[in-house]
Amino acid sequence: MALSLAEVEHVALLARLTLSENEKELFAQQLGAILEYVDKLKELPTDDIEPLSHILPIYNVFREDHCRPSPPREETMANAPLVEDGQYRVPRII
């Protein structure tokens, strides 16, 4: 499945990436190859295979919750690049 440059540009926009024309062409080829491989995988008979989320069995290990005092605000804000009104100041993302 070949991807158009417009589709690559759309994906780059969603990922907030700036791509050169060479990169757009390269990624169109690479993403197209990935989608072709996925289409090939769809041909496999998987009706009798039970879906799983992990290959290995995973068990949650819970620990006891312990209440303890939080560190002082000045200590937690000491390494913040920007602080405003006792809160982290971050750039707006629209």
Say how many domains are in the chain: 1
- Give a yes or no: residue 90 inside a domain: no
Other C-beta atoms lying within 10 Å of the C-beta of residue 87: 11
> Domain containing 30: what range?
5-42
Select from 5, 35, 31, 3 the least CA-distant residue to 20. Answer: 5
pLDDT of residue 86: 85
- Give a yes or no: residue 28 inside a domain: yes
Cα distance between residue 1 and residue 7, in whole Å: 12
- Give a yes or no: residue 81 inside a domain: no
Enter the pTM of the model: 0.50
Q: Report the CATH number at residue 15.
A: 1.10.20.60
Q: What is the pLDDT along the chain (94 residues), one digit of tens a residue?
A: 788 999 999 999 999 999 999 999 999 999 999 999 999 988 999 888 888 878 888 888 888 889 999 999 889 899 899 999 888 999 888 8
Cα distance between residue 31 and residue 12, in whole Å: 12
